[in-house]
A and B are shown apart, each in its own frame.
Chain A
Amino acid sequence: MNIAVDTRAIELLDVRPEAPARASEAGPAPKRIVVGYGFWIFLLSDIVMFAALFAAYAVLVHSTAGGPGGPQLFSQASVAIETACLLASSYTCGLMLLAANSRRRGAFYLAAVVTLVLGAAFLALEIREFAGMIARGATPQTSAFLSAFFTLVGCHGLHVTIGLLWLVVMMAQVAVKSFRASVMRRLLCFSLFWHALDIIWVALFTVVYLMGVVP
């Protein structure tokens, strides 16, 4: 009886593939990995949408219809400060996630507030830039170039606005629900979102503001 059981066990072992242990053999992936992957796919689809806006901008950049062009409108000093704000907020967002991972409440709130303030400063500078352009008559209706510009940069600004709202919600969730697993997954998604916005901004300041003023 014992012998029969043993051979069956050996046969079962033989059925298993010879390949070394893969990630799939370790059983289903933890929910954190699955959620991160799903959110990453959403971010990539968002980046594809931005690619379409970038393509539209690149095609229409010289269609100024007699209106002002990039070199007359863009202020590099303002863009440099915006870039610094967003990059620093991306860094503090990373520190915020680390603080949440090691359950340091004070450090988490500090990093979250700094991220929020830097993101809001970026947004305020961008709104001021838009208001200044519109006051000078460079409205989205003026030319195809300005339509494409306001769509592309405005869409990024809208994403930052949503990100700031999301960050406020996450701070409230940590205050109410503490660092439970579901909150940690949402924090991971938020950090991915915030870092992805910074990646889009890198493409944006290079294509729109720096290449725009190069003759």
Chain B
Amino acid sequence: MTETPALAKEGPSGVLVYTTGLFLAVILTATSFWVANTTLLWAPGVALGLAVLAIAQMGVHLVFFLHITTAPDNTNNVLALAFGVLIVFLVVAGSLWIMGDLSSMMPAGAAMRMPMHH
């Protein structure tokens, strides 16, 4: 059994980190489900609110569960994450933009003449 000091240094504080993360994630998830079902909120803003809550929860997971921090030994992980987020944004936003443009420029009825089995 090889001792790895870097691994052994985490003690009870580790449990505290995970429990904090769980607590925050539960609050954010519960808020998401409430926001989607309530009639109290301004309806057009609900989708945006859900997106903000989801991004906040992903941040909580990254920091408290995956331990992506700003520590010097974590620079590479953060840079890789930044690149990944850029690609995800380009793929999702680009697809929605292009396909939205395509369907709005398609003449009325053209979609009907282009069925799936073409």
Chain A positions near chain B (C-beta within 8 angstroms)? 22-23, 29-30, 32-33, 36-37, 40-41, 44-45, 47-48, 51-52, 54-56, 58-59, 65, 76, 80, 83-84, 87-88, 90-91, 94-95, 98, 101-103, 144, 178-181, 184, 192, 195-196, 198-199, 202-203, 205-207, 210-211, 213-215
Contact = CB atoms under 8 A, between A and B. Distances in A.
A51 B87 contact: yes
Interface of A is mostly: helix
B94 to A, nearest CB: 8
Interface in B44-69: 46-47, 50-51, 53-54, 57-58, 61-62, 65-66
A46 to B, nearest CB: 10
A45 B83 CA distance: 10
A175 B103 CA distance: 57
A91 B33 contact: no
Interface of B: 1-2, 4, 6-8, 10-11, 14-15, 18-19, 21-22, 25-26, 29, 32-33, 35-37, 43, 46-47, 50-51, 53-54, 57-58, 61-62, 65-66, 72-73, 75-77, 80-81, 83-84, 87-88, 91-92, 94-96, 99, 116
Contacts of B80: 37, 40-41, 44
B66 A29 contact: no
A179 B1 contact: yes
Q: Please classify the interface of chain B as helix (H, G, I), strand (E, B), loop, or mixed, using the class held by over half of its residues.
A: helix
A48 B84 contact: yes
A55 B92 contact: yes
A192 B54 CA distance: 19
Contacts of B47: 211, 214
Given A98-B18, A180-B1, A181-B2, A47 B58 contact: no
Given A195-B65, A210-B50, A215 B73 contact: no
B34 to A, nearest CB: 10
Contacts of B36: 76, 210-211, 213-214
